Chain A
Amino acid sequence: MGVRQRPAKKLNKKTTKKVAKKATKKIAKKAAKKTTKKTDKNKALKKAIKKTAKKVVALPGLGHEVHLFNSIVELIRITSAEIPNDIQKVILEALAAEEKNTTAEYAMNIIKANIELAKKKSQPICQDTGTVLFYISHPANFDQIKFTKIVHKAILASTKKGYLRQNSVDSLTGENPGTNLGPGHPDLHFHQHTKNTVEIKLMLKGGGCENVGAQYSLPNNELGAGRDLDGVRKVILDAVQKAQGKGCGPGVLGITIGGDRGAGYVYSKEQLLRKLDDKNSNKVLADLEKDIVETSNKLGIGPMGFGGKTTLLGCKIGALNRLPASFFVSISYMCWAYRRQGIQLKADNSIQKWLY
């Protein structure tokens, strides 16, 4: 996506200041203790602060803490308010493909207008700002614990600013602390790579579409789906038919063939990090992806389930090994409000470039 010029809204000046202040205070105090021997205490303290101020933010493997905080808040703002280009392109194609003066075209036109308006106002595209999923690729010696703490701070700040709705509820008490933080929230996935850079991808996945996800265990007698690619195809199409428009279609499927139940769902969401216009390097899967989209779009479910030509905007499939005894197909559905973005960080943790 290259470099974007964005109107950097007043980026959490308060919070960043606080973070910085706290950090400097701590180290300054330490430094002050050491220097008490000197006669001119004030002078020494000032010196110490100056000296340590630089060190304060330089965390091993993390670089500048405040920059990182700012970068993540900006990543959240953009992800919540702007649909990536690869997805917007397919949405516009879907709009063009619908017949004029139909409910399907009507729905797609409103979706298009909503995408434009959200971007213009820098407001959430959909009010359900979803589960906050981070995927972090980092070099060796990266401090995941510190990183996680900064992510939490960034989420708090983004919630206060309205980039994220208060969207995280205690499953036992039903209480909503309004912070978007708690067990499982946010959901962070760390991954070490051989590159020297840090890449952060973010996906906001709404509840309506998550609810129509499905996991099948093959064979499935009811659907006549065996333990082969044809069986896989059958259960995927069944999931599309069952979802109807309930996941705010037209949507995109992320699918895992194989794995255990847990890995299957996790990996199916990772498929949604792929660009819509990429091509699966596995020919069999590439063909299946194409087939699923084409066949689904012949079912006539259409945008919002109103009937129409576009039921799916895309389908991305990955395969994991399985045990001889199990054969799972795990399907995650992503609504049209497909919010994912990514950034690559500079050495000082400011944003080097946008990934989508």
Chain B
Amino acid sequence: MKRLNYPFSKEQIRELRVGDMVLISGKLFTGRDAVHKRLHDGTKPPVELKNQIIYHCGPVVLQDKKTKKYEVKAAGPTTSIREEPYQWEVMRDYGIVGVIGKGGMGPKTLEGCKQYGCVYFHAIGGAAQVLAEKIKSVDSVHWLDLGSPEAIWELSVEEFPVVVTMDAHGGSLHSKVDADSKAALKNFL
């Protein structure tokens, strides 16, 4: 088990390899379809994304009526491949060091990871409750006009469990498992 603690850096990220189980502590920014589309269309991000991690997640967030405090009720990853056209640009233009999601991403993103020093972390799909418990606070929210699930939520997490499935050295667990299982299947047909 490895640990990745805030503030994140390119050096830390380059040490990670496919298959590493990692507990992330620090800051995450949620961002899914609408955020990536808006960044792609040229709008500058409302927060400094350099050396930050983006989480593909549309959390269920409730606001306490009295204290106005936000609380995350569910926060599992969403399917990442939808951001495949945009993700590498966000790496290039804004210097993120990590992406968390589920299902893995394609060759463009893998190339981006290698070129700009970034990794893809796979969270456990469907584990909404466990992952919500790792979120210790909601620190700010931006672009709420996109709707709550699509907004950028700044979250503080502790020991957020993920697996590195694409690293900054061109390694992808997804293409490996895909190729191996394809080869294995041939033996059983």
Interface of A with B (CB < 8 Å)? 103, 106-107, 110-111, 113-114, 117-118, 121, 123-128, 162, 165, 206, 208, 211, 224, 234, 237-238, 241, 244-246, 248, 295, 298-302, 304-307, 335-337
Number of A-B contacts (CB under 8 A): 126
Q: How far is the CA of A302 from the CA of B163 in the complex (A)?
A: 14
Taking a contact as CB atoms closer than 8 A, the residue among A123, A224, A301 that contacts B129 in the complex is A123
Task: List the one stretch of B6-14, B38-46, B119-127 in contact with chain A.
Answer: B119-127
Taking a contact as CB atoms closer than 8 A, the residue among B59, B60, B75, B124 that contacts A111 in the complex is B124
Taking a contact as CB atoms closer than 8 A, the residue among A126, A224, A306 that contacts B126 in the complex is A126
Q: Are B181 and A241 in contact (CB under 8 A)?
A: yes
Chain A CB within 10 Å — which of B58, B103, B125, B163 has the most? B125
Q: Are A110 and B103 in contact (CB under 8 A)?
A: no
Q: B21 at the A/B interface (Cβ < 8 Å)?
A: yes
Point out the residues of chain B lying under 8 angstroms from A162, CB to CB.
Answer: 60, 73
Q: Give 27 A-B contacts (CB < 8 Å), ordered by A residue.
A: A103-B19, A110-B124, A111-B124, A111-B127, A113-B130, A114-B130, A117-B133, A118-B129, A125-B129, A127-B59, A127-B76, A208-B126, A237-B189, A244-B174, A244-B178, A245-B103, A245-B125, A295-B188, A299-B184, A299-B185, A300-B177, A301-B177, A301-B181, A302-B177, A304-B125, A307-B180, A336-B126
Taking a contact as CB atoms closer than 8 A, the residue among A211, A244, A304, A337 that contacts B181 in the complex is A244
Point out the residues of chain B lying under 8 angstroms from A127, CB to CB.
Answer: 58-60, 74-76, 128
Q: Are B173 and A124 in contact (CB under 8 A)?
A: no
Point out the residues of chain B lying under 8 angstroms from A299, CB to CB.
Answer: 181, 184-185, 188
Distance in Å from the Cβ of B177 to the closest Cβ of chain A?
5
A-contact bits for B108-140, CB 8 A (1 contact / 0 none): 000000000000001011111110010000000
Distance in Å from the Cβ of A251 to the closest Cβ of chain B?
11
Q: How far is the CA of A117 from the CA of B174 in the complex (A)?
A: 29
Q: Are B182 and A241 in contact (CB under 8 A)?
A: yes
Q: Are A103 and B163 in contact (CB under 8 A)?
A: yes
Q: How far is the CA of A224 from the CA of B165 in the complex (A)?
A: 32
Q: How far is the CA of A337 from the CA of B59 in the complex (A)?
A: 18
The 7 residue pairs across chains A and B that have the minimum distance between CB atoms: A127-B74, A248-B125, A126-B126, A127-B128, A114-B127, A117-B129, A299-B181
Q: Are A124 and B124 in contact (CB under 8 A)?
A: no
Taking a contact as CB atoms closer than 8 A, the residue among B73, B104, B126, B176 that contacts A337 in the complex is B126
Q: Are B129 and A121 in contact (CB under 8 A)?
A: yes
Point out the residues of chain A lying under 8 angstroms from B163, CB to CB.
Answer: 103, 106-107, 304, 306
Point out the residues of chain A lying under 8 angstroms from B75, CB to CB.
Answer: 127
Q: How far is the CA of A206 from the CA of B76 in the complex (A)?
A: 13
Apart from A208-B125, A300-B184, A306-B173: 8 A-B pairs, beta carbons within 8 A: A110-B124, A111-B127, A113-B130, A245-B125, A298-B188, A304-B102, A304-B125, A307-B177
Q: How far is the CA of A305 from the CA of B80 in the complex (A)?
A: 14
Distance in Å from the Cβ of B54 to the closest Cβ of chain A?
18
Q: B156 at the A/B interface (Cβ < 8 Å)?
A: no
Point out the residues of chain A lying under 8 angstroms from B60, CB to CB.
Answer: 127, 162, 165
Q: How far is the CA of A248 from the CA of B126 in the complex (A)?
A: 7
Q: Are B185 and A111 in contact (CB under 8 A)?
A: no
Distance in Å from the Cβ of A24 to the closest Cβ of chain B?
32
A-contact bits for B157-169, CB 8 A (1 contact / 0 none): 0000101010000
